[in-house]
Structure 1
Amino acid sequence: MRMTRLARLRRSLEELFPERHLYLRSGGVMKAFVLTPSKQMAMAGVVAGGALWMGVCTAAMLVNLLSASATDREIAQLKAQSERYVADRQARLDSALARLNATSGANADLAANIEKRHAALALLLTDVKGAPGAAEALTPAINKALAGDSANPVRRVEMVRLGQEQLLDAADSFAKSRADRLRLAFRMAGLTPSAFVPKSGALGGPLIESKDPRALAAVLDVDEDFAVRIQRAARDLSEARALADAAESLPLGQPTTGANRSSGFGVRFDPFTRRPAFHSGLDFAGGRATPIHATGPGVVSFTGVRSGYGNTIEIDHGRGLKTRYAHLASIGVQRGQRIAIGQRIGAMGSTGRSTGTHLHYEVWVNGRAQNPGRFLKAGEYVFQGDEGG
């Protein structure tokens, strides 16, 4: 069997490398060479060995080049990181040395700068003082600013400056949050916030009179960035105050307590005709003589009987807003009387076009009936925000 395989291999090699004759003519002389299978196999082996050697050498060179390239990149990255680290450390060292070398002459300047920043902050915090939720929002920042107890004078100065930055951030965040919350409440009521805020030039206040931050920085004698942040916080706070003042005149309170809404605003089936009809207010069902309260401050513009409404009270809240309270059992106010929010004005009844004891409550804006539910929802949002800070 083994001999057979060797014979087959020998025949295959002889077929692959048959005996070849090579003739060369040079100078009129013809020479013949015989290439036996063994010689051809020897030559093929030499060629294959050379090719293999060249392939191995080429692969080794590529591997070395690739590994060298990766190593070079890694070395370059490490070198760059090291240089950045050294540069950062050197910068910190230079800054520290500069502070130490200039301590004798710079302490007075630092103290003066801090005092000027304190004065600017005092103006801002004076405006913040008294705003609902201000104490809760700013107390943590104030306590943190006062907590520095380092024995190192330079460190103490840095902590004071950091405390000023944190306190300004807290005041700015509080002012913006309050302004945004009130804007949202106005939109919930279907009102445009900008219509209730004076134009930018009429907001007033020493911190926002100047439109140029550089001028304000010069007036306060602080750096421009600090002045810009002070001005931004003051502007948000001024707008929040204007919106809060306007909100106090809006009918955002509850007209009665302990009563359930029995009918909503919009199209409904009329209880008398059983046909679809527009209902211009909200109905609150309750017991007879349940107290009715004014939902906002204003002046009583009407008391008496209106067709379909029975005993009615109307209050003018200014800015085109009016509220109506109908089907009352009794009226406890007079026309022209100034009313405060939450003040008792009458009692629930079933006068006029009514199927039972309830309050019919309407809100009008510029002569058009609005959904009172939006005002009640906005009121809940505002009052909960004021209580929660």
Structure 2
Amino acid sequence: MSNENENGRRPFFDRWFPERQLYLRSHGEVRGYVLTPGRQVTAACVAVLVAGWCLIASGGFVFDMVMRHRADSDVVRARAASERINADLQARLETAVVRMSATNGSLDEMAQMVERRHAALTGVVSMFHGIDGAEAALKPATGLNPHSASPIQRIMAIRLDQERLIARADAFAQTRAERLRLAFRLAGLNPAAYSVRGMSLGGPLVEARDPKALAAILDVDESFAVRIRHAADHLNEMRNLADVAEGVPFDRPTQSRTTSGFGVRFDPFNGRPALHQGQDFAAPLNTPIYATAPGTVSFTGVRSGYGNTIEIDHGHGFKTRFAHLNSMAVQSGQQIALGQRIGAMGNTGRSTGVHLHYEVWVDGRPQNPARFLRAGDQLVQQN
């Protein structure tokens, strides 16, 4: 029976991988080489693996381009919405002036309404305290000259500035949130998983989700309460993403050149295809290595194949690993700040030369560090 099976397989190999002879003539001498079916099968397998890896790499590149284009489209739509809001402001102002002229509205009532709006707006603006760029973006406009403008003109100018200010606050928070979402997408992360909605910002904005209820609590008109609610929601999302982003390893461990990336490559020791779970940086011996995000050192010591290794836990499931170090400047359990020097580049462990092997892990799975570095570069360019 075994002979029959063997005879049945032979025609297949004879048809696709017959034994071939290769003759090379050099300096009058002829040398012959035999390409056995086994060698041909091995060469075919290697070709298939290389082609498959090229397809996977190309697919990943196309996916990154599609996600980046989608994020840019979202930013354009957000800017268009902001422009429509600004155009609506002038229309509201003109409508209010017409109503005042037609009804000889009370200055006292208008002044009280402006004061109530101002108090509510002050609460919103105060929530932007400490955010880079917020103070300049939300700076009130210069008021009218009280000696040359009538009381109605001054009140309406203040009201218009309040409308513009709440619009700028909403646009500022929405734009910053979109930039952070783009960075998360570039890193291969789902921003919705890290944007926790419904978290409290303090005061009446916590309880009142209904515009009428919020308007009653803040003692302002409902339309203004709706705009305050939108600005608070966008600010809440921006802060949630920003808090998580502070612990995401977006920074670079070293400014050295990259020598090997993440993915399948040929092992430098045995020449066989193997998964490379990090990114390599080459530089002279003892080049400083820096933490890519704040966190807690979870391991320092020697790991098999990695040599001298430092691992940092950044929270939210993010973890980084620095291997082949020549020296380590931190200890297990130590709190680490962003950009803090943690060690020096070396050649320990299973290494062919002085370099840093850098890994990024999310929820126990290795990720491509190049994605996080690209996302970090994008955030730096936008700030």
Tell me the TM-score normalized by structure 2: 0.71
The one of 350, 361, 366 aligned to 2:358: 361
User: Which residue of 1 is the match for residue 349 of structure 2?
Assistant: 352
What is the 5 A alignment of 1:157-176? 157-176=155-174
Q: Secondary structure at the match of 1:128?
A: coil
Cα distance, 1:237 vs. partner? 0.4
Distance 1:94 1:128 in 2: 34
How many pairs align? 287
Could you tell me which residue of structure 2 aligns to residue 248 of structure 1?
246
Asked if the contact 1:312–1:328 (Cα under 8 Å) also holds between the matched residues in 2, the reply is yes
Instruction: Provide Cα deviations, 1:75-112, integer angstroms capped at 9, x if missing partner.
Output: xxxxxxxxxxxxxxxx999746435x34xxx1111110
Indicate the SS of the match to 2:127. helix
Q: Percentage identity across aligned positions?
A: 57
* Counterpart code for 1:334: Q
Give the aligned partner of residue 5 of structure 2: none
| Aligned-pair CA distance for 1:217 | 0.3
2:115 alignment counterpart = 115
* 1:299 matched to 2:303: no
Residues 255-289 of structure 1: per-residue CA shift (max 9 Å, x gap) = 112x1011111112222222322111110111110
Contact 2:197 2:236 in 1 (8 A): no
**Partner residue of 1:98 out of 88, 98, 102:** 102
SS at match of 2:138: helix
How has the CA–CA distance of structure 1 residues 156 and 264 changed in structure 2, closer, same or farther, with 3 Å as cutoff? same
Q: After superposition, where does 1:128-207 map in structure 2 within 5 Å?
A: 128-139=128-139, 142-143=140-141, 146=143, 150-200=148-198, 202-206=199-203, 207=205
Aligned-pair CA distance for 1:194: 2.6
Shift of 1:148: 6.2
Amino acid in structure 2 at the alignment position of 1:293: Y
Which amino acid counterpart does residue 377 of structure 2 have in structure 1? E
TM-score (norm 1): 0.70
Q: Taking structure 1 as reference, are residues 97 and 175 closer, same or farther at Cα in structure 2, changes over 3 Å only?
A: closer
Q: CA deviation at 1:251?
A: 1.3
Aligned to 2:235: 237
Name the amino acid aligned to 2:222.
E
SS class of match (1:341)? coil
Q: Structure 1, unaligned stretches of length 5 or more?
A: 1-90
Residue 381 of structure 1: how far off its partner (Å): 2.2
Give the SS at the match of 1:272: coil
Structure 1: distance between partners of 2:154 and 2:295: 54
- Going from structure 1 to structure 2, the CA distance change for 1:94 and 1:222 (only over 3 Å counts) comes to closer
Counterpart check, 1:341 vs 2:341? no
2:181 maps to amino acid: R
Amino acid at match of 1:177: T
Match of residue 314, structure 2, among 301, 317, 321:
317
**Alpha-carbon separation, structure 2, partners of 1:147 and 1:384:** 38
Letter in 2 for 1:281: G
Partner Cα distance (1:264, 1:330) in 2: 23
For the Cα contact (< 8 Å) 2:259–2:282, is it kept in 1?
yes
Q: Within 1, Cα distance between the matches of 2:207 and 2:324?
A: 51
> What do the CA deviations read for 1:49-86 (whole angstroms, capped 9, x no partner)?
xxxxxxxxxxxxxxxxxxxxxxxxxxxxxxxxxxxxxx
**Contact 2:125–2:138 (CA<8 Å) still a contact in 1?**
no
CA separation of 1:339 and 1:246: change in aligned 2, threshold 3 A? same
Deviation at 1:209, TM superposition (A): 2.8
Distance in 2 (CA, whole Å) between partners of 1:248 and 1:199 is 18
Matching residue's letter, 1:341: L
1:286 matched to 2:290:
no
For 2:182, what is the secondary structure of its paired residue?
helix
- Which amino acid is the alignment partner of residue 305 of structure 1? V
2:185 and 2:191 in contact (8 A); partners too:
yes
* 1:228/1:148 CA distance change after superposition, 3 Å: farther
Moved over 4 A (4+): 91-97, 147-150
Structure 1 position 170, deviation (Å): 0.7
Aligned equivalents of 2:261 and 2:234: distance in 1? Answer: 36
AA partner of residue 370 (structure 2): G
SS in 2 for 1:327: strand
1:378 to 369, 375, 378: 375
Which residue of 263, 268, 282 corresponds with 1:266? 263
Aligned CA RMSD, in angstroms, stands at 2.0
| Distance in 2 between residues matched to 1:123 and 1:368, nearest whole Å | 42
